[in-house]
């Protein structure tokens, strides 16, 4: 599966990642090479194999529905790029 510049642009958008125009071709060729590596798996019949979900087949542990953590908003917002009145600030989204 060859990845071209158009696919890189689509995927970069899905990943919310700006890619410099002059590097798109390079990323396309690197992605093509790594995905070619993955094609070795195509030779193996896996129709009757279950996909592995967890190395030791553990299931999701449930905990008691009880309040434990205390509010840490100030500590967490102290390291945020922009906050005001307990809110995280981003560029205006709604006109």
Partner 1 sequence: MHKDTIATIRQNLASGQYSSTELCQHLLERIAAHKDINAFIEVNAEHALDAAGKADERRAAGAAEPLLGVPIAHKDIFCTRGVRTTCGSRMLENFVPPYNATVVDKLNAAGSVSLGKTNMDEFAMGSSNENSYFGAVANPWDTSRVPGGSSGGSAAAVAARLVPATTGTDTGGSIRQPAAFCGITGIKPTYGRVSRYGMIAFASSLDQGGAMATTAEDCALLLDSMAGFDENDSTSIDQPVDDYSGELNNSVKGLKIGLPKQYFGSDLSAAIADTLQQAIAELTKLGATFIDIDLQNQHLAVPAYYVVAPAECSSNLSRFDGVRYGHRCADPVDLEDLYKRSRAEGFGREVKRRILIGTYALSAGYYDAYYIKAQKIRNLISQDFTKAFAQVDMILGPTTPTPAFKLNENTSDPVAMYLNDIFTIPANLAGLPGISVPCGLVDNLPVGLQLVGNYFKEAQLLNVAHQFQQVTDWHTKMPASIT
Q: Which chain residues interact with partner 1 by CB under 8 A?
A: 3, 7-8, 11-12, 14-20, 27, 30-31, 33-35, 37-42, 44, 46, 49-56, 58, 60-61, 63, 72, 75-76, 78-82, 88, 90-93
- Sequence-ordered strand ranges (E) for 1-95: 83-84, 87-88
Q: Which residues contact 82 (CB under 8 A, 6 or more apart)?
A: 88, 89, 90
Shortest distance, position 59 Cβ to partner 1, whole Å: 11
Minimum CB separation of residue 72 from partner 1 in Å reads 7
Over the Cα atoms of the chain, what is R_g? 22
């Amino acid at each position: 599966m060859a990845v071209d510049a158009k696919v890189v642009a689509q995927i970069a958008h899905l990943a919310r990642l700006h890619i410099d125009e002059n590097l798109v071709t390079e990323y396309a060729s690197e992605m093509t090479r790594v995905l070619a590596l993955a094609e070795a798996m195509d030779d193996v019949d896996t129709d009757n194999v279950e996909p592995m979900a967890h190395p030791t087949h553990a299931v999701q542990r449930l905990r008691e529905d009880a309040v434990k953590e205390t509010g840490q908003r100030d500590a967490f917002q102290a390291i945020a790029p922009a906050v005001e009145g307990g809110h995280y600030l981003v560029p205006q989204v709604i006109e």
